Chain A
Amino acid sequence: DADVTQTPRNRITKTGKRIMLECSQTKGHDRMYWYRQDPGLGLRLIYYSFDVKDINKGEISDGYSVSRQAQAKFSLSLESAIPNQTALYFCATSDRDRPIHGYTFGSGTRLTVV
């Protein structure tokens, strides 16, 4: 099983619909992140959480919300999806005590908003 699991892998949704992307991890890491990736723009941080009671906005949080249900689970919601939220979304984790180990990424969710 993957260390960081994202569901669904692919999703097509209509404009205005609410959608949730889920992430779970078995690495025991305390820190979790949501990124989106667009061609030519690289990875941009949406939200991050350093523990269950800690939620922080990233550089592009408008239109998104998150929930850290447990140390191992971090979900991303699009309250009312719009076409420019079409992107590849990645969840990532890291260990506070091993910052030089970088991030571990999930396999990604390809979201298309029509």
Chain B
Amino acid sequence: DQQVKQNSPSLSVQEGRISILNCDYTNSMFDYFLWYKKYPAEGPTFLISISSIKDKNEDGRFTVFLNKSAKHLSLHIVPSQPGDSAVYFCAARFYNQGGKLIFGQGTELSVKP
């Protein structure tokens, strides 16, 4: 049973436009959410995170929104750049259990010049 779901395997966006990546979760015991970016043949790299007590966190071009009632989070990238092309994973942490992350399946973002 997939507790963290990314239902869009791929997304294609024009350079300069907004990219919106979505993630849904089912377990109410998750208290912290993270987004990772992954290039081929490399390990995932941390992008941005949000605590369950917040509904928005911003870092430069990246903003994560959390809707707890809908158990939904989204990552917005504005403006999108060709270098953003990668696979993006959302992950959720169980309440107070550091090191125990549950990942979604990933969304492959392609930003076209």
Q: Do A and B bind each other?
A: no
Residues of B within 8 A of A (CB): none
* Residues of chain A whose beta carbon lies under 8 Å from any beta carbon of chain B: none
